[in-house]
Structure 1
């Protein structure tokens, strides 16, 4: 009985050690955002200033208003750490402004590899990820 308990304890601790949150996908949680009133596009097909590649690589990264709304409605929130350390970075992005039906406004940004962010007028900053989102401008997804 003691040996069985010891084996169980070692197995459980090994499993817990392997599940330390360092997987390849970040932990995601619902955003609980109110319905969107309006979306505007300020930049589309832009290249990050930190990119060393020429700007034409991003010329085809253009999202429609409907694709932006679907992304914001479907995306999950991730921690700032996971956003900067676990998600693939893309120099290609689109950005603009958003207003919600509860009066909160803000700015949005969506990268080509499905990471995004919302900076809201109430001071809240949401880091987003939507691996299941589909748009012509996104690369094919494994999901």
Structure 2
């Protein structure tokens, strides 16, 4: 299987969290568990149901995505309440959960308290 090479910088927790060092990994595979999820309890969920994201489209997105700071991810990037979730596996066999919204704002959850924040192309109705 072809290995995609987006280098995502992930904080490596050391004994002292203040001295976290980045490490990179190579994504081996991406799997979409669920797409078309609506975060809000309001109108709009119907249009979100049309958001279909395949494993192939998610893999392409991760290949093009760039890491951003958490502040930029939370305060500067556009976002939509419609998103997809899944897992990715790295070349060293580790698996991480991710979520990605239609606007192209995503995150990889390294642990309960550590995430890598990403920005990539918009995915309005990806297939």
Calculate the TM-score normalised by the size of structure 1.
Answer: 0.64
Largest Rg, 1 or 2: 1
> 1:6 aligns to what?
none
**Aligned partners of 1:98 and 1:51: how far apart in 2?**
28
Calculate the TM-score normalised by the size of structure 2.
Answer: 0.71
Contact 1:97–1:107 (CA under 8 A) maintained in structure 2: yes
Structure 1 position 62, deviation (Å): 1.2
Tell me how large the CA RMSD over aligned residues is.
2.4
Greater strand share, structure number: 2
> 1:93 aligns to what?
83
**Aligned partners of 2:106 and 2:41: how far apart in 1?**
17
> 2:62 aligns to what?
72
> 1:57 aligns to what?
47
> 1:46 aligns to what?
37
Structure 1 runs (4+) deviating above 6 angstroms are: none
Greater helix share, structure number: 1
Query: Unpaired runs of 5+ in structure 1?
Result: 1-29, 139-143
